[in-house]
Amino acid sequence: MKTPKSIERKDIQGILASGYNHLDFARYVFLEVTNSGEARDWLKSIVQEVTTAIKPARNKPSTTCFNLAITWPGLLGLGIPKELISNLPYEFVKGMYRPDAASILGDKEDSHERNWEYGGAAHPLQLVAMLYANSVAALDSLYQSICGPQTINGGLVVTNIEDTVK
């Protein structure tokens, strides 16, 4: 009998382990790659800030959390060669606006892809920075440290920002 592999929680983004219910403020920052080299430099600069599925230690307060979503077009925009990622799952490569996804998810009428602001064929997503905090001030501070102009430095453009409050 095979022994199951242990889960490396440090390699899993925290949003998959927690809904961040303790954080009432969220900001979703939609990003488009304008320069692959500079965008990769940004990724290198913020990768340590990504909240993992490891519970925060006693000395690390969980007043903010940050996760990042990257789509197939985002990987290509970052300059990842297609041949290196060609074996990724069909659903990831083709995206949510493929015809079979609409049938599976029931995206008809008002929820049809042609009505989507972002994520459809007309406005494909590349990266989404997902920021969570326990206050507006903490959210703004996290935003500046992750997506502020001094951090992004020309490799990415913010195309939309959506704020939510519980």
Closest to 127 in 3D by CA, of 57, 53, 28, 49? 28
Burial class of 103 by CB neighbour count within 10 A (0 to 12, 13 to 18, 19+): exposed
For residue 12, tell me if it sits in a domain: no
For residue 158, tell me if it sits in a domain: yes
For residue 7, tell me if it sits in a domain: no
**Amino acid occupying residue 28:** Y
pLDDT at position 59: 46
- Kindly tell me if the per-residue pLDDT of 129 is higher than 80: yes
For residue 128, tell me if it sits in a domain: yes
Distances (CA, A) of 35 to 17, 26, 150: 32, 27, 15
- Kindly tell me if the per-residue pLDDT of 133 is higher than 60: yes
Reported pTM: 0.86
pLDDT at position 151: 83
For residue 14, tell me if it sits in a domain: no
pLDDT at position 1: 57
For residue 9, tell me if it sits in a domain: no
| Mean confidence (pLDDT) of the chain | 87
Which tens digits make up the pLDDT trace of 51-104?
Answer: 998 865 554 557 999 999 999 999 999 999 999 998 999 888 887 777 787 778
Q: Which domain holds residue 97?
A: 22-165
CB 24 within 8 A of CB 136: no
For residue 15, tell me if it sits in a domain: no
Highest mean pLDDT among 99-108, 109-118, 142-151: 142-151
pLDDT at position 10: 86
Domain count, the chain: 1
For residue 13, tell me if it sits in a domain: no
Mean pLDDT, residues 123-145 taken together: 94
Q: How many Å apart are CA 122 and CA 3, to the nearest integer?
A: 46
Mean pLDDT, residues 132-149 taken together: 95
